[in-house]
Chain A
Amino acid sequence: MLAPVLVLGIGNLLAGDDGLGWHAVQALTVEAADPHGRTLPPDVELLDGGTGGLALLPAISEAGALVIIDAVDVGAEPGTRHTLVGPDLYSRLVRLSVHQVGTADLLAAARLTNTLPNRVVLLGVQPATIATGVGLSPAVTAALPRLLAAVHDWCQQFSSGEAPLPRPKPA
């Protein structure tokens, strides 16, 4: 069985730009359903991870590669994209991610249980506000198209090009 490329959107829908992961996965889902939209490789799976923390371990452990979408605070202009890949990701994540505890702990837990895929990238965007509210700020909204393009690029790079064998789906 080929392991899928998991696109994991992380964030709280109710916390402004913190909902970036949800909005990105939603946009990719809509695009995938549109016959005229860009298509992702067949072995890509999209997951709205919300603020799921350790509950996301099953999905990560079944993935062959991981594309994480998350809000990261690098003190840059709102909407600035920031990509973390490889060793850089683990050493800097704790400090950078708005979800510092959750995402860093999640990846550490995957590493502790030897289930973290070798190929991992985190595509981050600097938030303007994470105050309570539904919807992205204009700056982060403006960054979304290029973020989605980057998701496509990384998925192409990580993809085997083949559809994974169907797995038994509950429900």
Chain B
Amino acid sequence: MTRVAIDPITRIEGHLRVEVEHADGTVQQAWSTGTTFRGIELILQGRDPRQAWMFAQRVCGVCTHVHALAAVRAVEQALDITIPPNARIVRNLLSGVQFVHDHVIHFYHLHALDWVDVVSAASADPAATAALCQQVNTGWPHDTTAYFTDVRARLRTFLDSDQLGPFGGGYWGHPAYLLPAEANLLLVAHYLEALEWQRDIIRIHAILGGKNPHPQTYTVGGMALTLAPDAPTGVNETALDTIADLLATLDEFVDRVLVPDVALLAGYYRDSWTELGAGPGNLLVYGEFPEDDGPDPALYLPAGRIVDYDLGTVLPVNQAAIAEIVARSWYTYSGGDTAAKHPSVGETTAAYSGPAAPYDMITTPKYSWLKAPRYDGAAYEVGPLARMAVAYAAGMPEARQAVDSFVAPLGLRPAALFSTIGRVAARALETQLLARRLPAWLTDLRANLAAGDLRIADTTKWEPATWPATASGWGPTEAPRGGLGHWVDIVDGKISNYQMVVPSTWNGSPRDADGEPGPWELALQGTPLVDPTRPVEVLRIVHSFDPCMACAVHVHQPERSTTVES
């Protein structure tokens, strides 16, 4: 039995690390570790709840806006504030754009190179690549031999320099890479095109968020921007036209490039990767994108739970059933570490008991700075797979059509969603749904403005004097990488307790008091490793969850030790 450490680095949410133990070329057990204490909750204690979002959005550098959204929602729920329709729509626009942007970046820039061999791409025949592009990405203009000749030349220049950047340290030539050279070049070309494409899309955040990254326009009660169709500044007709133009470009790239590229990849990796990495089969979705303004609004992506891979039944979500356990985490709880505490009574008392750095392996009973979130005591996966599966099982027509038309040509059933490729596909299909939905929200906003409704924030409860002496609330949202919840307690106008349960805590959870593994840990069990010194299979599975990080890999073997950044 050999133990291998995958030590991914992130500066965003803290470092994450995975250790796997393998025997006979197969992963037997895995341990997921958050190696950095976050403690954002402690920073927020004693602060003005109206400012919580400004700090909270800094917890994650990738999706800055979703933490702001969860934070204002938690405070609004605590203080019983209903935001105006325009604020709801602007939040949907910001969040929807974040999803589309983030999902495209994730596929091409954070995950594709686990499947695409860049060195092979540099040897591809441009004419064959053009032919493949015309067949796969029908109607996409960049499909000529000349174009792919140019891309190949740019790639070769880059690879010949000593500054490989994102292409440094990949497992190029690994036998687990299955794409032919022209498919590799096609996806590298789209890697580059996606870099330019995302640059324009994210401008919508600068318009509606004031700036990007770290939007400035959130406020408890709504949004802090001026809706003024006829004014020279603020969100005027010109700004709305710009957003409309940008939104109009979304679905063409998604329909013609992203989704067909993922289908191409799925075809080549169908044989094992539509089964490997299945995960716990329990899926949790808070839901997102309210379509109306009631206390219990219809959500474009519905809330719900799937249990034990059963796509036939959607169960309700009750946030009271969520609890966090620190039995295997570097915290202590008043009342004992085997307790399960709801986030509203959550505690953040650090108690490190792991090995002293530097270390090779973490073999202590407690092994992570992540707590173990559980729903009714069970581990749940969150993210695009969960959202598409719940939407599918709930009968959402667009989701059923998208999933069915993706799996059918591959000869698969919808249950193939429960896999590594299924997770990648769900992310692409969700991108497609949102790219098509976003223009409708802009239309709704323009209709409101045309009808003279310029309200953007309800400030009647802005002053703390209007608040009760004590109040508690929770702010659920969906981040691109999964369900996100903030819980806040307010006493005498100040935050007395704040807890966040973030998507990577659900998915990267350590074991609980019963020794039950978290989703990554489960997903990795049983994975064959073609070459344990280059465990690209582990990267594929962990990256398919879209953890809040980039990662470095350290492989430790008795006879040799290698370090690879990827």
Contact = CB atoms under 8 A, between A and B. Distances in A.
Given A101-B9, A112-B192, 19 more contacts: A12-B61, A13-B55, A50-B58, A50-B61, A51-B11, A51-B60, A53-B213, A54-B198, A55-B198, A56-B213, A58-B200, A58-B202, A58-B203, A101-B10, A102-B61, A102-B550, A133-B39, A170-B242, A171-B239
A108 B206 contact: no
Interface string B20-63: 00000000000000000111101100000000000100111110
Interface string B547-566: 00010000000000000010
Contacts of B37: 131-132
A116 to B, nearest CB: 11
Contacts of B372: none
B198 to A, nearest CB: 7
Contacts of A47: 211
Nearest to A57: B199
A29 interface: no
A48 B38 CA distance: 22
A132 B38 contact: yes
A129 interface: no
Nearest to B206: A170
Interface string A6-32: 000000111100100000000000000
A55 B64 CA distance: 10
Most A Cβ at <10 Å: residue of B38, B109, B199:
B199
Interface in B460-474: none
B339 to A, nearest CB: 24
A39 interface: no
A98 B105 CA distance: 22
A151 to B, nearest CB: 20
Most A Cβ at <10 Å: residue of B42, B166, B207:
B166
Contact of B195 (A51, A101, A113): A113
A54 B105 contact: yes
Contacts of A12: 11-12, 58, 61
A4 interface: no
A108 B62 contact: no
10 contacts: A55-B205, A57-B195, A57-B199, A90-B163, A102-B11, A105-B165, A111-B158, A130-B11, A171-B208, A171-B235
A101 to B, nearest CB: 4
Interface string B524-560: 0000000000000000000000000010000000000
A152 interface: no
Contact of A170 (B38, B59, B203, B214): B203
Interface string A93-123: 0100011111011011101110000000000
Given A91-B162, A171-B208, A15 B213 contact: no
A105 B191 CA distance: 13
Interface in B148-168: 154, 158, 162-163, 165-166, 168
A52 B58 contact: no
A15 B199 contact: no
A54 B200 CA distance: 12
B393 interface: no
A132 to B, nearest CB: 4
Contacts of A49: 213
B38 A58 contact: no
B11 A15 contact: yes
Interface of A: 12-15, 18, 47-58, 61, 90-91, 94, 98-102, 104-105, 107-109, 111-113, 130-134, 168-171
B192 A104 contact: no
A53 B214 contact: no
B400 to A, nearest CB: 33
B385 interface: no
B33 to A, nearest CB: 17
A50 B213 contact: yes
A75 B73 CA distance: 42
Nearest to B193: A113
A13 B58 contact: yes
Given A13-B58, A51-B61, A111 B165 contact: yes
A48 B214 contact: yes
B234 A171 contact: yes
Nearest to A14: B58
A113 B192 contact: yes
Nearest to B54: A13
A101 B11 contact: yes
Contacts of B109: 54, 105, 109
Nearest to A56: B213
Contacts of B105: 54
A101 B109 CA distance: 12
A170 B239 contact: yes
Contact of B61 (A53, A57, A98): A53
A52 B39 contact: no
B225 interface: yes
A104 B169 CA distance: 14
Contact of A101 (B199, B202, B235, B550): B550
A52 B198 contact: no
A132 B166 contact: no
A61 to B, nearest CB: 6
Contacts of A91: 162-163
Contacts of A15: 11
A23 to B, nearest CB: 13
Nearest to B191: A112
B212 interface: yes
Contact of A51 (B9, B203, B211, B213): B213
Given A51-B12, A54-B198, A109-B195, A171 B165 contact: no
B284 to A, nearest CB: 26
Nearest to A104: B165
B212 A55 contact: yes
Contacts of A134: 43, 55
Contacts of A51: 11-12, 58, 60-62, 64, 213
